[in-house]
Amino acid sequence: MSRPQMSPIALHKALSAIWETPPGWGRLSAVNHSILGKRFMVLALVFFTIGGTLAMLIRAQLATPNSAFIGPELYNQIFTMHGTVMMFLFAIPMFEGLAIYMLPKLLGARDLAFPRMTAYGFWCYLFGGTILIVAMVLGYAPNSGWFMYTPLSSGTYTPGINADVWLLGITFVEISAITAAVELVVTILKMRAPGMSLTRMPIFAWYMLVTASMMLIGFPPLILGSILLELERAFDLPFFDPTRGGDPLLWQHLFWLFGHPEVYIIFLPAAGVLSTIIPTFARRPLAAYNAIIVAIVSMAFLSFGLWVHHMFTVGIPHLALAFFSAASALVAIPTAVQIFAWIGTLASGRPKFDVPMLYVVGFFIVFVCGGLTGVMLAMVPFNTQAHDSYFVVAHLHYVLVGGFVFPMLAALYYWLPHFTGRSSVYRLSVPAFWLILIGFNLTFFLMHLTGLMGMPRRISSYPSNWGWDWLNLLSSFGGFIMTMGFALVLIDIIMQFRFGRRTRRNIWQARTLEWAMPTPPPAYNFAALPTVTTRADDLDPGKLGAALSGGDGYLGFARAGRQETLGVDMMSGEPDQVIILPRSTFLPLWTALATGVFFLGLLFKVYWIVPLAAVAVVILFLVWPRSLGAKSDIGPIDIGQGAAVPADVEVKNNVTWWASIAALAADGTLYASLLFGALYLAIAAPGWSGDSAAIDWLPTMGLGTGFVAALLARLARRFNAEGRVPFGWLVGAATLSGATVLACVLGMVLIGDVTAHANAALRFALYSYCAVHAGIAMLVASHAAWRWRSGHVSATRATDLRLAVLWTDYAALALVPTAALMVILAVAGGGA
């Protein structure tokens, strides 16, 4: 049956009515990726302003010797908060916001895979960051450094809630990072324009796919470390106490398992920006596209083998020092591949210069210097001399500011016309660039010299007779010059939003899909979804945009008030499902508020409210799917262009399934980190001694009930596929998962005094992990049973049952290494 053709204006009005966010208070219910991406970036800029202000206070304190500007306690808070804000509240959320805003537009989709999860992540980011900033204003900011090394951050040396603010606030914020990582991985793999195979993706999507995958693997060790340290501070479980079998170095291992990959997690999105901008201004396609993909995958792989790079002076065996030194130098190769590809693109093109290119040139100057000092610090003899000196501070800022801030400023000026539909009026951007470049180098280049002259980092004052005076004064002077440059950038942005001239659609004559839509973009991005038959960063947005605006493409119509976009085959990009997205809702806000109550209860030690808040969070999450799915089989749906595909609820490998796989990858990494911590303490902790303990056989009981629960879930899936009733099997799976929870809880109770030794504390942690995941399996199986009773599950619509199998399998498999470790820990003893 042919569908009547709508005029472009009528099509725009019909799609806007479906996709627009309600006005007024309804804006708080926004789930649209364009709105949320801008919110992430604006909030990140607010935190950047706060972090920059703290940096100026640091430089004011260090401008002169024996300064009394601020005392040591306040300085420690400011120093800690500066690093925390810049690393956790600015850099990562800023590129998350850019990716959330840009990726659907670059990929030819109408939104991300899970809009409500994006909104939940934003609210967690806002509330977690607010906890940290309010604590600082009230004088309770963390003061142990942004790296929170133990034992300095333990309850003995840092009483009060200062360190708890960091541990709980950062964990709250990291929820946002994990949700964004899952969202981005699934969107890139499954929600591209028809015909856009992996080999045709825009290079920025490749960068973000690798970055998001690194976040899934890199962030869980920090989350685990924060949980263990908070358990030690709040309940005296001695994971890091060397007098009771713990080891402070375990914190460093867990922190830098996150911390060094984070440098590349921050750099790679910025490099993706450069790989997008440089071809536009070089007026030719990016050189060495395939080599760059290999380079960024290699960089991601190598980055997880470098964490001891930060621990060369803690007493690591010489063989390990040699290995990690070589790996630290080796990572320079994939970095160089990208830099030479960018230079080759410019050299073989016809470059034109504008403000974004100024910041690209600034990047080359600053980042290459940072890379050279990085190779120096990768060499153990030099690192031993320069460790914990201002030379490291200089290197860190050359890499992070050069590798992230300069490319992000280039991105700001490149895509600001896309956000606003306006061009710059007041040419403040050029003097702003020179102030930032000159001020930055004056500030941080001189720190190389003070570091080589012996000035240690993290000190609040210094004597006047060591030759550092004039270098520190000039550094502080340069810091204020750089601040004036950033202030001019802010003024320039405000002026463009307020007074900028309306500009044409593709102001830079770029070749990527985001310019094939009106600017600023509508809520639905594309009136019709394009077909991509060539590399997606070498298109003709002008011709493509005119056709799509008239509905010439896939889903070029409004239907039944539904927000529809396409899912595609992961490799080929061929359409394989219609994804029906949820409308605006306040549920993410309420869920984030309940999550905030959970963390505040832990922070203020109001423990009675913590389980209530946890129950509220679980109930709210269970409410989320109520509006999704269908109560009858739909069959193939017309998507235009003479094609029809099934709805996502009738597809096995839909986005919900892949999101669960991605979430389990992060979850499994956290578990692997816990297993690593247990083995590390059993092997290397200096206080691990004592008689062998009795072997605990309760995990065996849990293994039995856990694996039977997984078997029953599989039987339920099989019965459902055959058109038979799966309800009883699901109830049985949920019941036995609950029995597994009880077995684990009983094991936790029978351990005895978990504060006596790290051995007992580790067994408690392992039991806790298995109990939580058996509880999740119970909830997922129960939810699948409820969905079947409500008519949302059939032989075709079986996603809920597949998730029940996935989570019961994982909960059962998690018991295996726990049972093995119980034997190992019992044999290792430790006086537990």
Q: Of the candidates 344, 347, 106, 101, which has an alpha carbon nearest to the alpha carbon of residue 203?
A: 106
The chain-wide mean pLDDT, for the chain, equals 93
Q: Is the torsion defined by CA of 820, 826, 827, 829 positive or negative?
A: positive
Angle at 213 between CA 212 and CA 217, to 5 degrees: 115
Global model pTM greater than 0.85 = yes
| 241 and 681 Cβ atoms separated by less than 8 Å | no
Phi, psi torsion values for 423, nearest 5 degrees: -110, 165
Q: What's the token pair of residue 511?
A: 């070749």
Count CB-CB contacts under 10 A for residue 580.
Answer: 19
Residues of the chain with pLDDT > 70, as a percent, come to 97
> What is the predicted pLDDT for the residue at 500?
81
Which of residues 235 and 826 earns the better pLDDT score?
Answer: 235
> What is the predicted pLDDT for the residue at 690?
52
Q: What is the mean pLDDT of residues 736-744?
A: 94
Interval 625-636: pLDDT, tens: 988 888 899 999
> Which strand (E) or helix (H) includes residue 645?
strand 643-645
| One-letter amino acid of 94 | M
> What's the rounded Cα separation, in Å, for the pair 21 and 33?
11
> What is the predicted pLDDT for the residue at 356?
94
Rg from Cα positions in the chain:
27
> What's the rounded Cα separation, in Å, for the pair 289 and 537?
10
| 108 and 190 Cβ atoms separated by less than 8 Å | no
> What's the rounded Cα separation, in Å, for the pair 439 and 478?
4
> What's the rounded Cα separation, in Å, for the pair 470 and 426?
36
Interval 41-89: pLDDT, tens: 999 999 999 999 999 999 999 999 999 899 899 999 999 999 999 999 9
Q: What is the mean pLDDT of residues 144-160?
A: 92
> What's the rounded Cα separation, in Å, for the pair 154 and 133?
21
| 727 and 789 Cβ atoms separated by less than 8 Å | yes
Q: What is the mean pLDDT of residues 655-674?
A: 97
Beta bridge partners of 568: 575
Residue 164 has pLDDT above 90, yes or no: yes
Pairing type for strands 422-423 and 501-502 reads: antiparallel
DSSP of 443-486: HHHHHHHHHHTTPBTT-S---TTSS-HHHHHHHHHHHHHHHHHH
User: What confidence tier does 424 reach under pLDDT thresholds 50, 70, 90?
Assistant: confident
Phi, psi torsion values for 739, nearest 5 degrees: -65, -35
Comparing 127-131, 156-160, 225-229, 237-241, which segment has the lowest mean pLDDT?
156-160
Interval 530-541: pLDDT, tens: 999 999 999 999
User: What confidence tier does 1 reach under pLDDT thresholds 50, 70, 90?
Assistant: very low
Interval 373-392: pLDDT, tens: 999 999 999 999 999 999 99
536 alpha carbon, distance to own chain's centre: 25
| 93 and 43 Cβ atoms separated by less than 8 Å | yes
> What's the rounded Cα separation, in Å, for the pair 165 and 424?
41
Q: Supply the DSSP symbol for 2.
A: P
| 300 and 213 Cβ atoms separated by less than 8 Å | yes
> What is the predicted pLDDT for the residue at 832?
43
Q: How far is CA 445 from CA 365, 373, 532, in A?
A: 12, 11, 46
